[in-house]
Amino acid sequence: MKTAAPTSIGSEKQVHRPSRQIIAKGKAQRRGKWSPAEIEILREHYPVTGAQGCLKYLPKRTRSAIATRAQILDIKFHHHKPWIPEEISILKEKYPQGGTSECVKLLTGRTPKSIRAKASEMLLTSPRQMHEQWSSAEIATLRKYYPSGGTEGCLKYLPNRTRAAIMAGAQKLNIKYDKLKPWTPEEISILKEKYSQGGASECAKLLPKRTPNTIRVNARKISLLRNRPWSDPEIDILLKNYPAGGIKACIQLLPHRSRQTIRQRCYLLGIQRT
């Protein structure tokens, strides 16, 4: 009598597991087969609106299921379907009044994204965009100050606009920021004459195309220092704090003075560390 040879762990009979495709097929079957009416809806609306647009006509189907079924049936989504005169007429009439939300109700074959793109192409503005639209005075300000001062230079002249809005407005109007615009001899002459007395803020009034920051940068390049007179309270702070604490102690009490100016003033006054 033959006895069955013991099986090792490695030779155990493998358990058959269904593939992912079979599992997906089983799930699809549990959801229910596509009815002829659903397929007819898919053929009618999918080429125009895609899976997203078919959701409202097929509420029991997911976006993924719609796209998969359209692929099986070889139904293509025409992304760039030309706009017909009737659609353009609706867009012209309704977009300025109600924006995308109003138009999408009347243009069932168009997505919100395509409606916004076509409206932008036709230079139509929605109520929200009209509220955000730039006035002629703001555009003139942008054209005047953005080329030389950029976004930062326009902020003080356009207090109701954010940095992002200024940058976007300049980009839309094709206004370039000339970061390295050379200084003219007249500008340098004003800088040399006024910077030592009034600093960047005073020069900015006489140099409207230059921001305070660019004025300070160029002043350092040509070795200009602001010669702001020292007050008696400031000198008292130096006399009391520099001998024991040095520049570190003084700069906390003189926030508008740099380390270099504090060191230079102490040297001129003969104040030394103890």
Task: Tally helices (H) and strands (E) across the chain.
Answer: 12, 0
Q: Of the ranges 17-26, 31-40, 83-92, 220-229, which is most confident?
A: 83-92
* CA quadruple 86, 88, 94, 98: dihedral, nearest 10: 130
Burial annotation 238-274 (CB, 10 A radius, 16+ → b, else e): beebbeeeebebbbeebeebeeebbeebbeeeebeee
180-193 pLDDT, tens digit per residue, is 678 888 988 888 88
For residue 68, give the nearest of 81, 58, 56, 80 by alpha carbon.
58
CA dist list (Å): 247 to 46, 50, 63, 226, 269: 75, 70, 68, 19, 14
Q: Given this model, what pLDDT does residue 28 score?
A: 47
pLDDT of residue 194: 82
The torsion of the CA quartet 59, 61, 64, 66, rounded to 10 degrees, works out to: -90
Sorted by where each begins, the domain ranges of the chain are 28-72, 85-131, 136-172, 185-221, 232-269
The pLDDT of residue 69: 92
Residue labelled with tokens 């050379």: 182
- Mean pLDDT for all residues in the chain: 79
- Residues 230-273 have pLDDT tens digits of 888 989 999 999 999 998 889 888 877 778 788 888 988 898 98
Buried-exposed string 114-133: b where 16+ CB fall within 10 A, e elsewhere: bbbebbeeeebebeeeeeee
For residue 232, with 0-12 CB atoms within 10 Å meaning exposed, 13-18 middle and 19 or more buried, which class applies? exposed
Residue 236: what pLDDT?
92
Evaluate if pTM is beyond 0.95.
no
Task: Using the predicted structure, report yes or no on whether residue 20 has a pLDDT greater than 80.
Answer: no
